[in-house]
Amino acid sequence: MEIFIVSIVAFFVAILTFFSGFGLGTLLTPVFMIFFPTELAIALTGFVHFFNNIFKLFLVGRHADKSVLIRFGIPAVIGALIGAYLLLNIPDSKPLFVYELAGRTFEVYPVKFIISILLIVFASLDLIPYFNQIQFGKDKLPVGGFLSGFFGGLSGNQGALRSAFLIKAGLSKEAFIGTAVVVSTFVDFTRLGVYSTELVNTDLSGTLPLVISATLAGIAGSYLGNKLLKKITLRSLQIIVAVMLIILSVALGAGWI
């Protein structure tokens, strides 16, 4: 049953997140957490995310902007190293606050709450008309790269901050998606390298069918998303990113994911 559930989620989320540049790992992680401990769930999601990105590299990687890759990608890798190291070496943080809703208890942790606030700010830049023409200068890209990589390594939520910065970098829709895919692949490779030091003594044989099924489902979704890319305008892409940022920020800030 878990293979079916995770694969279905991976397929449909991969279609939608092909355009936004984030969301696959964010939405898959809580699904994996239903069946595995938190650290293992983040790592397994990382494997699915990584191989999905490898496939997308062949689809759209050639459109990546090289100057943005250098300014944004290198700080992202450095941030991912630091974030992944902290995930494995610091004790579990205490919830910022806890509340009950509909008979369930939700815990809100500091890292996710901070991310949610940042995402709301960035989403506003796309949805409020006054900010539509604002673009981040090249000097802001290293900061965005480091933050997206750091939070990606620490919590698995790297894509939202990455897209929030890159969507304002003055890129075409093809360059935006291609650049996001290349940076995401480098960050995945970095954090998986750190996670693997903790997983080397863990028996993962029982998880292979689940990971393989989810990966193939995600690849199928990305393939379909690429077919639909020509029908999406840059403004539509900005709105999709902004709406998903808001949805994600509310979910993170409320402790739902």
Q: Is 175 exposed, middle or buried (0-12, 13-18, 19+ CB in 10 A)?
A: middle
Highest mean pLDDT among 60-64, 119-123, 168-172, 186-190: 60-64
Residue spans of the domains in the chain: they are: 2-253
**C-alpha span between 52 and 222 (Å, rounded):** 8
Which pLDDT tens digit goes with each residue over 161-179? Answer: 777 778 777 788 888 888 8
Q: How confident is the prediction for the chain on average, in pLDDT?
A: 77
When pLDDT is averaged across residues 92-110 and rounded to a whole number, the result is 77
pLDDT over 70 for what percent of the chain?
78
Say if pTM beats, i.e. exceeds, 0.95.
Answer: no
Best CA proximity match to 56, nearest among 182, 175, 172: 182
Residues 30 and 257: beta-carbon distance below 8 Å: yes
- Per-residue confidence (pLDDT) for residue 116, from 0 to 100: 76
Q: Is the predicted pLDDT of residue 100 greater than 70, yes or no?
A: yes
Q: Is the predicted pLDDT of residue 60 greater than 70, yes or no?
A: yes
In sequence order, the 6+-apart residues with CB closer than 8 A to the CB of 254 are 106, 108
Backbone phi, then psi, for 254, in 5-degree steps?
-90, -5
Q: Is the predicted pLDDT of residue 132 greater than 60, yes or no?
A: no
Please give the C-alpha separations between residue 161 and each of 118, 152, 235, 249, in angstroms, as whole numbers.
8, 9, 19, 11
Where does the pLDDT of residue 216 fall: very low under 50, low under 70, confident under 90, or very high at 90 and above? Answer: very high
Q: Is the predicted pLDDT of residue 14 greater than 80, yes or no?
A: yes
